[in-house]
Chains A and B, each alone.
Chain A
Amino acid sequence: MRLIIAAAAILGLFGTEQAAAATAGASAPGLIADPLEGWNRGVYGFNNGLDRAVVRPLAMTYRRTLPTPARDGVRNVLTNLGAPVVFVNDVLQVRPTPAANTAFRFAVNTTVGVLGVFDVASSMGVPKHKADFGQTLGRYGVGPGPYVFLPFLGPSSVRDTVGFVVNTAIDPVTFARFDGAVPAKVTVITLNALDVRITFDRDIKDLQRTATDPYAATRSIWIQNREAFISGDAPPKVDDLSDFTPDATPKPH
């Protein structure tokens, strides 16, 4: 089943976190317009090459070098660092309970959890969740716009690219100033990318092996998965489903 979200994360080195954030939920199957398909396929190929030559080998070295508990600790720290962005978007989406949970998690994990190394809040029954500005826009009715495949970042839409820019702009990590800030930020971004790459390694291999057009399959999966994330726990949108006939190819949004 993890294959399903693998393609959402496929070959997006930094955007993978957003893609992987997508959680279970029903959504309309769909296509969005892909007017830049030629360009997007080129970028897809570029990211693929970069993945084969650099990212995957680095990720596998990281996996071999660091034992699982240590990698879990790193992941917890990275998740904790992302909490302010999640909190802001919880607030913007007027979701008080998730916002309170995020604030609680950040306070507890930063202190009792030793700067986020240990996810104490989860063991207290307050699990993590994701929220981002692309999702916020989507929840306020902003459509995805055309599909874009971004260099280094992977699959996205115009809406979610705007969301990525805003998330980056409001992230305290972005504007933190201290000695050694640049190497620290590069480390955070790199570790994030490697961790996600490891998580989805098997699924990415499966997708690349089984899809007849991995670009098209990735696009389809990412779009559906992303819309499900935005819809949250909404009931299935049955009205968006076509009759189950060969001619009933879903229409682009």
Chain B
Amino acid sequence: MIRVTPSALALTIALIGFAPASQVLAQPAQAQNLRIERDSAAEAFVLSEANKVLAVLGDRSLSIEAKKKTFRALVDEVADVPKITGYVLGKYRRSISDADFREFSVTFREYANSVYENRLNDYKGETLKVTGSTIRKPGDVIVTTEVVGGKTREPIKVVWRVLKGDDARWRAVDVQVQGVWLAVTQQQDFVSTLDNAHGDIHVLIAQLKGERKAAAPSR
């Protein structure tokens, strides 16, 4: 049972720190980030590509092997895999050699495949609709969507971060579901592992290989 004493309360308030009064008065605080610009090209990309992926995942006529094959091809089309691979290493990206990065890239790709392929049969006809977008800066857009239908009882809010590459093509680099950005989370997971391994990328690679094997049998 947690007991609250005056000193504990004072400490709590000191630790939390109250926001400036102006911020409180500006409630809802979230409105301060409201932007009105939308990017129709980024929205069209997400609408088209995400529904393509959902159609494959929800296709009951496809075998699991066929789904895997199609899904892997689609990932390269939809996501900027090289950029994500560098991002998840965080501050350690610049300190590892090119050879180690190449090895990590292969392992990370296989790891990601095995993680996501465990869920390939979880979809049954869901579709996605775009509800808006916000331009963070040119070529860096946040697209908000809702997934409806299939097994979902209520619309699920999914937010996409898409970047326009040098080839002028849009690609997704992060996805947020229920408030959680996947690539950001992956980065914080990997960086913590590397911190605890004194930055040794081979520890992370070995762990990813081990987890890939563990993930393979699924449930």
- Chain A: how many interface residues by the 8 Å CB criterion? 66
- Find out whether the CB atom of A29 lies under 8 angstroms from the CB atom of B18: no
Partner of B184, one of A137, A165, A206, A250: A250
Is there a chain A Cβ closer than 8 Å to B191's Cβ? yes
Which chain A residues lie closer than 8 Å to B219 at the CB level? Answer: 202, 205
A-B residue pair count with CB separations less than 8 angstroms: 190
Most chain A beta-carbon neighbours within 10 Å: one of B34, B92, B174, B185? B185
Is there a chain B Cβ closer than 8 Å to A139's Cβ? yes
Smallest beta-carbon distance A49→chain B, Å: 20
Which chain B residues lie closer than 8 Å to A225 at the CB level? Answer: 178-180
Is there a chain A Cβ closer than 8 Å to B168's Cβ? no
- Find out whether the CB atom of B24 lies under 8 angstroms from the CB atom of A246: no
Q: Using CB atoms, name the residue of chain B closest to A236.
A: B142
A1 to B115, CA, bound (A): 12
A37 to B176, CA, bound (A): 26
Which chain B residues lie closer than 8 Å to A31 at the CB level? Answer: 188
Stretch at the interface among A51-59, A75-83, A108-116, A214-222: A214-222
Stretch at the interface among A61-69, A96-104, A141-149: A141-149
Is there a chain A Cβ closer than 8 Å to B17's Cβ? yes
Smallest beta-carbon distance A122→chain B, Å: 10
| B residues 8-40 in Cβ contact with A at 8 Å | 12, 15-20, 23-24, 27-31, 33-35
Partner of B178, one of A4, A205, A220, A241: A4
Stretch at the interface among B44-52, B61-69, B132-140: B132-140
9 extra interface residue pairs, beta carbon distance < 8 Å, beyond A213-B189, A228-B178: A29-B185, A141-B18, A141-B19, A144-B16, A145-B17, A212-B192, A217-B188, A229-B179, A235-B144
